[in-house]
Homo-oligomer: A and B are copies of this chain.
Amino acid sequence: MSGKIDKQIGEGETQETIKTKLLECDINPTFQRNEIARVMLSKPQHLSADQVLTLVNAKDGHVSKATVYNTLNLFVEKGLIREVAIDPTKIFYDSNTSHHHHYYNEDTGEIYDFETDVMSLNPKSSLPENTVQSGLDVVVRVKNST
């Protein structure tokens, strides 16, 4: 971990890349949406709406709470990000929409990704009748051993 981390945050995606991604998802790239997308997409991460609000306004923007909530819902609906059901009392949003799963540290609240090659899942053989799979969430809950 180097001292460059601060500088790198938010630069994983350029302003242009972000607008392109929004447009690809049929999202009109307004100022607020750009700001929220920049925070969310800067790196693979898992943020609550409140954390997004704080991060967006920690920089130069000034985005209201309602807009953050509505925008995050819009992003989920359009497939730009996804919801993570880890904490039953709060919604987390995940900037990584590719197939992967989560370690959740119950002691610290930290969330880590792990890739699908860690597991093999074969649920098709027993899906409920007349249904098709639309998503898969795997949460491995861990706690500190030390």
Contacts and interface: CB of A to CB of B under 8 A. Distances in A.
B142 A131 contact: yes
Nearest to A138: B138
A3 interface: no
Contacts of A87: 85, 88
Contacts of A122: 118-119
A114 B119 contact: no
Of residues A118, A130, A131, which shows the largest number of chain B Cβ atoms within 10 Å of its Cβ?
A131
Interface string A104-146: 0110001010100011111101111011111111111111111
Interface string A84-110: 111111111000000000010110001
Interface residues of A, number: 43
A35 interface: no
Contacts of A112: 128
B134 A141 contact: yes
Interface of A: 83-92, 103, 105-106, 110, 112, 114, 118-123, 125-128, 130-146
Contacts of A118: 121-123, 125-126
Given A85-B86, A91-B88, A134-B106, A128 B142 contact: yes
Contacts of A143: 131-132, 134
B119 A131 contact: no
